[in-house]
Structure 1
Amino acid sequence: MNSPLNDTPTDWITTPVEARFLRGALDVERTALGVRPHRLPARVRRQFPDPSLAMMEAQPSGVRIAFRTRATAVELDVLHTKTVYKGIPPLPGGAYDLVVDGKPAGRAEASGGSVLTIDLATQAVENRPGPPGSVRFGALPAGEKDVEIWLPNKETAELIALRTDAPVEAAPDSGRRVWLHHGSSISHGTNAEGPTGTWPAVAAARGGVELINLGFGGNALLDPFIARTMRDTPADLISVKLGINLVNHDLMRLRAFVPAVHGFLDTIRDGHPTAPLLVVSSVLCPIQEDTPGPGAASFDDGKLRFRALGDPSDPSRLTLRVIREELARIVAQRVADGDANLHYLDGRELYGEADAAELPLPDDIHPDAAGLRRIGERFAERAFGDGGPFAA
């Protein structure tokens, strides 16, 4: 499917990438070279310029370039930035996935690019600038078709231009329902084999919906600006997956957690009063089921592992078990108060004890690629299947 970049005809058509070609982005920043998609609005980025959140929201998990064309070969010029962590092998997540008429059609990585190195022990950051590069897909089927290039879920991408052997136009509205999802690094796609391998992408493909993925590694923290963003984003279906980041950040106690959840849901409901809204608790994570945070990273033989450091005897501290109990209670209370389109899903239905035995968490926090795919398939069954809250 993919071919070298040294034989691009000079008479190919060059089309600058513009906002009209992008799906799954909430903002598009114009740069000196082209455009950079963002998953949070500029207003939020100005209000809370946290380096961690800034990096995560600029990684375009779920964002894709969508166009209609008769082209049989496509190149994308891009300046990508890979994030690596000092002392551990690079994580997957740098691929570009091609989808043609809704079906997977290829995977490739871009040439060139910059490298951002983070030292988790000291939080030092080193940026090594690199040149723009290209990613190419060849041997596309003849005739008019709808094409999507899914951008890397764990790299930033400054999009420059498409080069094709036939004209392109922005893909028309698919008419499919829009699913807006918020979650943690597991939703973001840590360890996914590629951008269509994140669990929300897997579930969206099976559910036949358009995805907006607001999964931000380390940042599913009940932030009011996330709730306001979801309130203001047009969507037909909404889900929020809460738990693991609140525990491993040791962010709040039970007293603050309950009203924060209510406030988060109230804000979403201000913009989407009747849309199906699904609250999902964390998948199984043995190290934090009954042990509160904070969490810490360690390196064993060059492998990243996580551990929980909190005191299990403190009843005010949040654990995953406590959070699941409270989320189930909160949803039941709100349903009894009249919100008939609010639903709850225990995350252990997506990945539980049997799954952990078969597909253990490689770093004790994140499922591997096979685990993420299983989560996506099960979510699709429970949410989009017959009788599910997102059933057509």
Structure 2
Amino acid sequence: MHTEHDWTTTPVTADLLRGALDLEHTDRGVLPHRLPAPARRQIPDGQLAMAESQPSGVRLVFRTPATAVELDVVATKRVYVGAPPRPDGVYELLVDGRLAGRAGVPDGDVLTIDMAAGTATTRPGPVRTLRFTGLSGDEKEVEIWLPHDETARLVALRTNAPVRTAPPTDRRVWLHHGSSISHGSNATTPTGTWPAVAAALGGVELVNLGFGGGALLDPFTARAIRDAPADLISLKIGINIVNADLMRRRAFGPAVHGFLDTLREGHPTVPLLVVSPLYCPIHENTPGPCAPDLGAMSEGRMRFMSTGDPTQTAAGKLTLTVIRDELSRIVRQRAATDPNLHHLDGLDLYGEADHAEWPLPDELHPDPGTHQHIGERFARRAFGAGGPFTREHR
């Protein structure tokens, strides 16, 4: 029988992590990254740098008979000036695929962001310990899912029995790239983001490259996907292009083609699914840019609004309706010579009728229950019978 005093410390190394593309060694632990170092060197803004360091879909995986597990972490707590406090990030413990515990840490480094002024400052904080106890003494596979929306440096892993690396799995690797909704905005747990829900239902290993505000057809992201191992790839494109008012229709089509061309350099025959935007009333027919509603923030509510002019679509400004049409056209054109390229209308995952039943709380992101619905629908359409990700499809 193991006691909590028989602690074994195991270094956190890349072979214990799934869902990360890189592991940075820092003076306070290791930091999982969802973009590799060459891509990170080309990131042009703090928003994407922050988003890719938040370990959505990243988990520690190992086998052990331990009955107690401890993980020392340095969390980064975000504070938005004028906005309500954010909940602490959630760490979830799964044993042989079943949820066995949740925990969080109350403090850590503090990143204060003033969206009105466009500034950000960081104050260092302490190392804190997560503890999971009462586990069975049998040999088992343990997963610790890291918070999807809170950066976490991993300082030490302790167990009251030895740890060994989990053997390779025969599950296919599904790499998904998308925006803040794919990242997990407004989900409350790391296994509750819609890609995590879909991955569990589809029986695949998730690599989630959903970046809040960062699905912008960046070439360095395309190269990262090109070079990453993957059996299945999906791209959810559009909402951030409109949010940022990043490009016009003339540039959008060639940018999508270029992104897909780069992916096909590394994954010429992998099933590749292009997903158009979910329903979002503020941008259906109104271009960006999107901005926080400062009036709502003064009342303690987070809300977003479009500041664009609908009449400018004639001059090439993009809306979600325009982008859906363009993506459908592009995939249809390319599929004539690429039989493993597929299209999924985002309205099939969350449409106007769904919005009437499950409205977006901040006008931009779904609530936790809607993440579940979206994940279930994606699993049926992608992994279900006749879907592009079924083993028989190819």
TM-score range, shorter chain: over 0.9
Within a 5 Å distance, the mapping from 1:303-314 to structure 2 comes to 303-314=301-312
Counterpart of 2:383 in structure 1 is 384
Partners of 2:124 and 2:367 in 1: CA distance: 30
- The residue that corresponds to 2:332 in the other structure is 332
**What SS does the aligned partner of 2:148 have?**
coil
Q: 1:258 aligns with which of 240, 249, 253?
A: 253
Q: What residue is the counterpart of 1:288 in the other structure?
A: 283
TM-score (norm 1): 0.95
Q: Tell me the equivalent position of 1:3.
A: none
What letter is aligned with 2:76?
A: T
Letter of the aligned partner of 1:311 in structure 2? D
Distance 1:210 1:151 in 2: 15
* 2, 6, 11: which one aligns with 2:6: 11
2:126 alignment counterpart: 131
Letter in 2 for 1:198: T
* Paired residues of 1:98 and 1:147 also in contact (CA < 8 A): yes
CA distance in 1, matches of 2:320, 2:359: 18
User: Could you tell me how far apart the structure 2 residues matched to 1:32 and 1:40 are?
Assistant: 20
Letter in 1 for 2:359: P
Residue identity in the other structure for 2:353:
A
The answer to whether the Cα contact below 8 Å between 1:93 and 1:190 also exists between their aligned partners in 2 is: no
With 108-117 and 249-258 compared, the bigger mean Cα shift is at 108-117
Distance 1:240 1:163, change over 3 A: same
Q: AA paired with 2:66?
A: A
Q: Give a deviation string over 1:216-261, Cα, whole Å, max 9, x none.
A: 0001001111111111011000000011100010000000000110
The CA distance in 2 between the partners of 1:61 and 1:239, in whole Å, is 16
Amino acid at match of 1:140: L
Distance 2:324 2:106 in 1: 44
Inter-CA distance 120–247: structure 2 relative to 1 (3 Å threshold): same
Range with bigger deviation, 315-324 or 29-38: 29-38
- 1:246 maps to what in 2? 241
Pairing partner for 1:192 from 175, 187, 195: 187
Tell me how far apart the structure 2 counterparts of residues 142 and 375 of structure 1 sit (CA, whole Å).
Answer: 37
The count of residues paired between Structure 1 and Structure 2 equals 384
The question of 1:152 aligning with 2:151 is answered no
CA contact (8 A) 1:231 1:271 kept: yes
Change (3 A) 1:43 1:53: same
Once the two structures are superposed, residues 286-309 of structure 1 have per-residue CA deviations (whole angstroms, 9 ceiling, x without a partner) of: 010000011111131211111111
CA contact (8 A) 1:98 1:104 kept: yes
| Deviation (angstroms), 1:131 | 0.6
**Is the contact between residue 201 and residue 211 of structure 1 (CA under 8 Å) also seen in structure 2?**
yes
Q: How does 1:216-255 map to 2 (within 5 A)?
A: 216-255=211-250
SS in 2 for 1:126: strand
Separation in 1, partners of 2:321, 2:254: 18
What TM-score results when the alignment is normalised by the length of structure 2?
0.95
Report the Cα distance in structure 2 between the residues aligned to 1:333 and 1:152, rounded to whole angstroms: 39
Quick one: distance in 2 between partners of 1:125 and 1:32?
22
Q: Residue 47 of structure 1: SS of its match in structure 2? A: coil
1:56 aligns with 2:51: yes
Is the CA contact (8 Å cut-off) linking 2:68 and 2:160 kept in structure 1? yes
CA contact under 8 A between 2:88 and 2:106: conserved in structure 1?
no
What is the CA-CA distance between 1:128 and the residue it aligns to?
A: 2.2
In 1, Cα distance between equivalents of 2:44 and 2:12? 26
**Aligned partner of residue 41 in structure 2, secondary structure:** helix
Paired residue type of 1:36: L
Deviation at 1:112, TM superposition (A): 4.0
- Whole-Å Cα distance in 2 between the matches of residues 38 and 173 of structure 1? 21
1:114-142 deviations in whole A, cap 9, x for unaligned? 22111111122122211100111111223
SS in 2 for 1:155: coil
Q: Runs of 5+ in structure 1 lacking a partner?
A: 1-7
CA shift, 1:85, in A, is 1.1
Question: Offset of 1:104 from its aligned partner?
Answer: 1.6
Cα separation, 1, equivalents of 2:288 and 2:107: 39
Report the Cα distance in structure 1 between the residues aligned to 2:124 and 2:88, rounded to whole angstroms. Answer: 19
RMSD: 1.3
For the Cα contact (< 8 Å) 1:112–1:134, is it kept in 2?
no
Give the residue type in structure 1 aligned to 2:303. R
The alignment-based identity, stated in percent, is 66
- Which residue identity lines up with residue 255 of structure 1 in the other structure? R
Q: CA deviation at 1:9?
A: 3.8
Instruction: Give 1:93 shift.
Output: 6.3
Amino acid at match of 1:11: D
Conserved in 2, the CA contact under 8 Å of 1:199 and 1:375? yes
Q: What's the counterpart of residue 343 of structure 2?
A: 344
List per-residue Cα deviations over 1:35-75 (Å, max 9, x = no partner). 11001111111123521111111111111000000011111
**Which runs of no fewer than 5 residues in structure 2 stay unpaired?**
none
Q: Which moved more, 1:80-89 or 1:205-214?
A: 80-89
Q: What CA distance in whole angstroms lies between the structure 1 residues aligned with 2:84 and 2:5?
A: 38
